[in-house]
Structure 1
Amino acid sequence: MSISVLERQSDESIQSQLRRSIIAAIHAGQMTPGQKLLPSRRLAEQLGIARNTVTAVYEELVARGYLDALPRQGYFVGRGLPADAGQIRKEAQAPLRGGAIDWQGRPKQAPSTLRHIVKPSNWQDFDYPFIYGQVDPNLFPINTWRTCSRDALGRAAIDWWTADRAVEDDPLLIEQIRTQILPQRGIFVREDQILVTLGTQQGIYLLARLLARHGTRVGIEVPGYPDGRNIFAAEQAEIVDLPVDAEGADLSAAGPLDLAVLTPAHQCPTMVSMSERRRDRVYATARAHGTILIEDDFEGE
């Protein structure tokens, strides 16, 4: 059994390194189907790590089909896996029945060619990381969050949040949003006017699916949120650049728009707050053209 040397100073956890090393050895043919792995205690002693770490890796690889666990016998390399990496590559490259699929021509959009948010994986090592959308551990209420998480994993709570509520959100969360958060922004709504999404991307995606189609003119801030632009572009909307100056997004040269996605509180990445004069002008333009304004209040919380 060949296991690569584990790097204790690496940012990758020991458990992740061990898991990756075993999978690599299986794919490389260094471990063959049916071969017995070292007992967790012995492997842990050889590597100088905790036995629980080895056991956790073995159990995960059993769940993923790489290993088989036999009672009172130990762990074995799964017999349903290809014997070597060469066989894996051949199967992956083999043409499908009926001919190969033209994957370049089938999708209506090539996501790999779009502009996305790019940031270094070690951004936390920088004294001044110029990124956004990440949690600051010095400001985030970690202890309170940990307590809430523990309560949410209690037996009674699990029965609540695992129920199938396909058409409704958590009523307690909705009530807090309706009575505590939205009124601070001058927004007063009914419960059925609130929809909780998994995040900004899903919210914009749902709006794009509902409101955008081929030829829909959508104003997007430049510079701005690239994923918002990509989502509306996927619906074949016509993207209209909205330049950002010292007063915020400028719609004056955009012409009639069907939709406009704006960040008036703090524009990202310039952090400009839209002036009251510019807001009045945007409202007037939207009323005149029937433009639906979508506010991305990403710092609202």
Structure 2
Amino acid sequence: MTISVETFFLNSDAQGTLQAQIQQMIAEGILSGRFTKGEKLPSSRRLAAHLGVSRITVTLAYTELQANDYLTARDRSGFFVSDNAPEPPRFVPRHPRQDRIDWGRALGRRFTGGATPVKPQDWSSYRYPFIYGQADPKLFDHANWRHCALRALGQKDFLALTTDYYDQDDPKLIEFVARHTLPRRGILAEPDEILITMGAQNALWLTAQVLLTQRRTAVVEDPCYHALRDILTQSRCHLTAVPVDQDGLPPSALPEQADVIFTTPSHQCPTNATMPMTRRKALLKKARDMDALIVEDDYEFEMAFLASPSPSLKSLDRDGRVIYVGSFSKSIFPGLRLGYLVGPRPFIREARALRASVLRHPPGHMQRTAAYFLSLGHYDSLIRKMSQVYAGRREVMERALAQHGLSIAGRGVFGGSSIWMRAPGGVDMTEVNDRLRSHGVLIEPGAPFFHGDDPARNFYRLAYSSIPADRITVGVELIARELAGRA
């Protein structure tokens, strides 16, 4: 890689000859770590023209740096940063910046301090990663995704790749969602009732921004998706957390008055409870009586490998009060960041306008690639493959959990990709997780999912989506040993 000539400039206040200044400029670039070993320097002719100096001045500077082993010359190729160049030292910058801004006063709002946990980026290097939401490279259909991506790069799809849709979306993706994805959940929607989002979390943020104010009340499940709670806290609305039971959110426990109810009826996050049909109808009736809206996050409905999923709340809604959130990111791969909102036209119109003011629309190439992947049947094949593998892994995990006497707090009635666990009272699973890492085991402590200043700390989540079946038993055994040592 050639270092850009624009990286170099002469300081009018610098001392010394032009040759010395150029030498110092390059040496400082190497010592600061900006220029790395093996990188090519601009040609002497080009750098001289850029700096407005003679070519011989640059050549002499390069030659002197070569003599000092900062640079090396390659025949007919030019000068490169030497493999023997000094390593960048740890030193204080020559001109340290003095920040004179009082950021405590300058910040109008704060978005840090939420409960969202930090997951290790190198999770795949752990031998026993019971970590949720990551793509398993052994399951993902690389070949067909690559084929669809290349097709979306073709001349035929040039407009889909390059067009600024402003506040609109790829019509092919919208058509597939409307004609294929939503009908499977019993939902009928027109294109102007659908909005593509940057994943489910972005859909929830848009929804909260459009529906909630400081005077309105939102209801969340407890425990719940921690990012949702952060979103609602940032919206400054009144927030009521309702404890869930074995069937999910109980309508009888809702407050007397609420404006928006957020729920995950298919697979409650994180307990995996599935809301039965009678409760779904009761929740709709309760919302009608309160004149409240319901935001249904249809979390993991695709992972129903034990039985067919229950109808969505949106499919049972006759009042237009349910806003539906779906996502392709969890089932295809999380980095895809594609989800969708389905709701009445007035709501979608405002959500569309808000999205346009923030990011206009998700990248056209990603939308068109996903549209091809879905419409050519690759998505359905991927879901079938994942379901079969997950079913086998879950069976292995349940046997291992039973063998070691670990307590299951919740499991998906229809499937899912994780199991919600409970450790003995008084055990802090955050501390346990820290110790398990030294044994190559990753788990998810449950505290971030709970509402309040003193969350339950003895819960944890074990996902089987990212760990091979032949490693589950040993991984569970290591968890059991660590918990036994704290008994």
TM-score where L is the length of structure 2: 0.44
d(CA) in 2 for partners of 1:107 and 1:254? Answer: 36
Q: Secondary structure at the match of 1:188?
A: coil
Matched, 1:195 2:195: yes
* Contiguous gaps of at least 5 residues in structure 2: 2-22, 31-35, 47-76, 82-89, 303-487
Measured at CA, do residues 240 and 32 of structure 1 come closer, stay the same or move farther in structure 2, by a change above 3 Å?
farther
Aligned to 2:137: 137
What is the rounded CA distance, in whole Å, between the counterparts of 1:163 and 1:274 in structure 2? 42
Alpha carbons of structure 1 residues 128 and 36: separation in structure 2 relative to 1, 3 Å: closer
What is the rounded CA distance, in whole Å, between the counterparts of 1:89 and 1:178 in structure 2?
58
Q: 1:281 to 1:153 in 2, by over 3 A?
A: same
Shift of 1:144: 1.2
Q: How many Å apart are 1:280 and its aligned residue?
A: 1.9
Return the alpha-carbon distance in structure 2 between the equivalents of residues 144 and 32 of structure 1. 51
Which residue matches 1:285? 286
User: Cα distance, 1:35 vs. partner?
Assistant: 3.7
Q: Please, what is the CA RMSD of the aligned residues?
A: 3.2
Percent of residue pairs bearing the same amino acid type: 32
Q: Structure 1 residues 157 and 89 mapped into 2: Cα distance closer, same or farther (>3 Å)?
A: farther
Mark the structure with the bigger radius of gyration: 2
Separation of aligned partners in 1, 2:236 and 2:250? 23
Partner amino acid, structure 2, of 1:274: M
Asked if residue 86 in structure 1 is aligned to residue 92 in structure 2, the reply is yes
- Quick one: distance in 2 between partners of 1:266 and 1:69? 61
Cα 1:128/1:297, change in 2 over 3 Å: farther
Structure 2 distance, partners of 1:244, 1:284, is: 18
CA contact (8 A) 1:69 1:75 kept: no
**Is the Cα contact below 8 Å between 1:218 and 1:258 reproduced in 2?**
yes
SS at structure 2 position matched to 1:274:
coil
The answer to whether the Cα contact below 8 Å between 2:220 and 2:240 also exists between their aligned partners in 1 is yes
Q: Find the aligned partners of 1:274 and 1:88 in 2 and give their Cα distance.
A: 62
Decide whether aligned partners of structure 1 residues 145 and 196 sit closer, same or farther in structure 2, where only a CA change above 3 A counts: same
Could you say what secondary structure the match of 1:248 adopts?
A: coil
Residue in structure 1 matched with residue 228 of structure 2 by the alignment:
228
The secondary structure found in structure 1 opposite 2:258 is coil
Q: What is residue 219 of structure 2 aligned with on the other side?
A: 219
> Residues 143-222 of structure 1 correspond to what in structure 2 (within 5 A)?
143-222=143-222
User: 2:260 touches 2:293 (CA, 8 Å); kept in 1?
Assistant: yes
Q: Distance in 1 between matches of 2:108 and 2:252?
A: 32
Equivalent residue for 1:260? Answer: 261
**Aligned-pair CA distance for 1:222:** 1.4
CA deviation string 1:94-139 (max 9, x = no partner): 13xxxx4332244455333211033233333455533322222333
Residue 271 of structure 2 corresponds to residue 270 of structure 1 = yes
In 2 relative to 1, CA 170–300 (structure 1 residues): closer, same or farther, beyond 3 Å?
A: farther
Unpaired segments ≥5 residues, structure 1: 1-14, 16-30, 39-43, 48-53, 60-66, 77-83
| Alignment partner, residue 246 of structure 1 | 246
Question: How far does residue 69 in structure 1 lie from its aligned partner after superposition?
Answer: 6.6
- Residue identity opposite 1:260 in structure 2: I
Distance 1:287 1:175 in 2: 31
Which residue number corresponds to residue 4 of structure 1?
Answer: none
- Which AA in structure 1 matches 2:226? P
